[in-house]
Chains A and B, each alone.
Chain A
Amino acid sequence: MAINVNTVYQTVLLILNKEQRGYMTPLEFNKIGGQVQLEIFEKYAEDMNQQLRVPQIDLDYSDRQLNVDEKISIFKDIDTATYTTNGFQIPLQYSGSSSASQQFTIANPGLQYTLTGDTASLLTTGGVASVFLNNVQLSNNDFSISGSILTLNSQPPAGQVLIINIYPKQFYRLGTVIYSAGALPIQELERVGGSQLYHLLSSNLTKPTTTYPIYTYKNNYLNVYPVSIKSGISVNYLRKPIQPIWAFTGTNQYVFSPTASNNFELHSSEQTEVILKILLYAGVVIRDPEIVQIAASQIQQQEMNQKS
């Protein structure tokens, strides 16, 4: 699903260099790539809002709401919120801890590999895994991770190198909050503002109950009402895309290092837009108005096609 970072970089370089316009260093590319990825990602919520107000065509691949939802779905996640005296803490707050990596040189081929140390602890607190076998990134369908055990779907040959990179998930935007207790039906919590809260709490008809609980959201904590709820809160949320990295080795020339790189996490249908937007920023960097103009007009045209 992801967009190969090397493909994007090479395409950008190709377009930029075609007429000797300039060169973009990997460092510049990584920073602009991250910016572009976030820009596109942030736009999804607005796109969805826009499309929800427009009648859709119920045909395969043509429903724009579904298409946008498919792009967002990559980043959807659900986790439990931990109860503290301040309220329920939203899951997986990024504390700045860096990624972790573990390497196995396969001597005795098997399907399962136990992760240890930072890799294991990052996984158990929630992390996104990239798995490489002999420098080739495996798709998410080729492996599964449960606890600290990595299970491959097919057994690799002896002598190959298995690398697992784990990146911490970063909470991005709060979605639906749900409450489950034992065998009772699962309930959705309603989000209310501070000004509403006190009216709701004192209203005899709309007072929150365990059947219809509510919450307020402030400073990364959910304050759930009725206050008798002290467990069973799960949070649907969007996580932030992992920063794309075009990693390299070598000093005299840049040699792509796939196992240390990160692909763009965006849906593969965004590849053109990613390239165009990077080109737009590249045009600014290399001060070439023609590139900026072409990229901007291409982006505009694409936007019109997608939304009109």
Chain B
Amino acid sequence: MSIPNGGLITETNRQYYAGAQQFQASSTSSVGQTFTSTFDTNLTFSSSDNASNGYNLNNFKIFTSVDAITWAELIPSAVIASTTGTSNTVSAINQKNVTVAAANTDVLVGMTILKADGSFVGIVASIAAGNQTFTCISNLAVAVANLDVLTFRFAQPYSELNNIVTINAKLPASIFVKIQLNEDTLWDSNGSYSYTRLDDVIDNFLIAYVGAGKLIPSIKRSDVIFHAKRGLQEFSYDTLKSIRSQELTVPLSLTLTMPQDYVNYTRFSWVDQMGVQHTIYPANELTLRPYATPTQADDGSIVQDSNNSNTELTSQITGAWNANNPRSLSGAFLNDYNVADLYWQNYYNNALGQRYGLNPVTSQRNGWFVVDDRRGQFGFSSDLKEKLITLEYVSDGNAYDLDARIPKMAEEALYAHIIYSILSTSIGVQEYVVQRFKKERSAKLRNAKIRLSNIKLDEIVQVFRNQSKWIKY
């Protein structure tokens, strides 16, 4: 089934796996041909000049090929987007015309004229009969000498608007054109079938649940959008998979800024040389980052500055925490056995003669972190200095466009959430109806949580096998 045939899959195998969509240009050579992208991902375009910064904002590239085997990227210097000619006369800067020795039908209106050293001459506005003399939009930027080699090319060989790519360059007859998504764009698209976009949820809801003869006869779309987004936020906190994570190194300052879309952390871990994570624990009861550190006078009163605002000092608590030795808190031995390598010699040595009666909360040697809400940062204990850590956290599903999607496992729960939210806030709806949908929402949400817990039989059986182990006392 490589071709979408009316089901939910709308991309071909090649679009999905290779991120490529191929076209064949018109059988007659022409400029301005358009090609419509049918990727699930919208194209993003800023510039088709690979020398400009905007080019990096594109989420795709355009390639051309005569045989659909060897592809060349369409950039201003590409063969099909540029041509050359040799000047056969002197053109001064108060002139608009440039003349080449031999007729060149590949020069087109809109092309930029460059000299061999790359200096800009002008942009072709019209072409005289015979295809030798080209008039620029304005006077030439630099003079052209006799026998100067001139390059004519499109500064923007293609453009894109609303998923329609327009090739400004003259495409040879029947040439193959390919839209190729960038790698990171393809990553975003991969696996997207397990999700339903929030836009689709909203449209489906309006079709299926709203209308004459239904429990919701009419509703403003903005209300549905609100409840859908709120539902996605709520689900993100405790139902949906926490997929956000960052790999970071703790700097010498022992602080890291919260991610832009951070709502709450799931887990901090430091990573050993084997890539294994060791959970870092919150220093909730040990220390905190004070929200304010006002300056105090000798009598304890708070000091204000000339703007009538309290003045602040550097936190002494933070300084003391950063300077401490976490081993003093955990009572850990000097020699670490922090690597998850059971065959590492020191593991056995250091596991001997362990201490008893320690507080389990503080008896860990993975380090501590503290949340600094005042600065929007995380602080770390000194033993994590320059260590590689991972931060797993939850967002609210509304930070970026790509986030606005819900796992199909939880789609039904979101519909139930929306309908309950609407009915419970509408007048004239009997309470028993509201209660019915409250229960339905709760049941479907529970179901979604179970589904998303990913409890597979084989995996749970493997865990249960642990029961049959012999344990020596």
Contacts and interface: CB of A to CB of B under 8 A. Distances in A.
Contacts, number: 48
B37 interface: yes
B221 interface: yes
9 contacts: A53-B212, A183-B164, A190-B222, A192-B222, A203-B226, A206-B222, A206-B226, A211-B199, A212-B222
B398 A181 contact: no
Nearest to A52: B212
Given A182-B161, A182-B162, A183-B163, A205 B225 contact: yes
Interface residues of B, number: 21
- The 8 lowest CB-CB distance pairs between A and B, nearest first, are A182-B162, A183-B163, A52-B212, A181-B162, A182-B164, A206-B222, A205-B229, A183-B36
Interface string A30-65: 000000000000000000000011010000000001
Most buried by B among A53, A182, A214: A182
A200 interface: yes
Contacts of A55: 213
B164 A205 contact: no
A5 B58 CA distance: 63
A107 interface: no
B387 interface: no
Bin the interface of chain A by size: 10 to 19
Nearest to A184: B162
B260 to A, nearest CB: 15
B225 A206 contact: yes
B438 interface: no
Nearest to A48: B212
Interface in A182-222: 182-184, 188, 190, 192, 196, 200, 203, 205-206, 211-212, 214
B162 A183 contact: yes
Nearest to B227: A205
Interface in B207-225: 212-213, 217, 220-222, 225
B42 interface: yes
A211 B42 CA distance: 12
Nearest to A56: B213
A182 B163 contact: yes
B220 A183 contact: no
Contacts of A184: 42, 162-163
A244 to B, nearest CB: 32
Given A52-B212, A55-B213, 17 more contacts: A52-B217, A53-B212, A53-B217, A65-B212, A182-B161, A183-B38, A183-B162, A183-B163, A184-B163, A190-B221, A192-B222, A203-B226, A205-B225, A205-B230, A206-B226, A206-B229, A212-B222
B212 A205 contact: no
Contacts of B42: 184
B162 A200 contact: no
A10 B199 CA distance: 57
A144 to B, nearest CB: 29
Most buried by A among B37, B220, B230: B220
Interface in B111-166: 161-164
Given A181-B162, A182-B161, A205 B221 contact: no
B36 A214 contact: no
A199 to B, nearest CB: 9
Interface string B390-418: 00000000100000000000000000000
A211 B202 CA distance: 11
A206 B226 CA distance: 6
Nearest to B162: A182
A196 B222 CA distance: 10
A211 B198 CA distance: 11
Contacts of A183: 36-38, 162-164
Most buried by A among B37, B163, B202, B230: B163
A188 B202 CA distance: 12
A196 to B, nearest CB: 8
Contacts of B230: 205
Given A53-B212, A183-B38, A190-B220, A205 B162 contact: no
A200 B221 CA distance: 12
A181 B226 CA distance: 25
B81 to A, nearest CB: 23
A181 B43 CA distance: 13
Contacts of B38: 183
A212 B229 CA distance: 13
A211 B398 CA distance: 15
Contacts of A190: 220-222
Contacts of B36: 182-183
Contacts of B164: 182-183
A269 B202 CA distance: 39
Contacts of B163: 182-184
A81 B36 CA distance: 25
Given A52-B212, A205-B398, A212 B161 contact: no
Contacts of B162: 181-184
Contacts of A211: 199
B221 A212 contact: yes
A96 B164 CA distance: 41
A106 to B, nearest CB: 40
Most buried by A among B38, B212, B220, B222: B222
B141 to A, nearest CB: 33
Nearest to A191: B220
Interface in B223-278: 225-226, 229-230
B220 A205 contact: no
Contacts of A206: 222, 225-226, 229
Contacts of A65: 212
Contacts of A53: 212, 217
Nearest to B42: A184
B422 to A, nearest CB: 14
B155 to A, nearest CB: 22
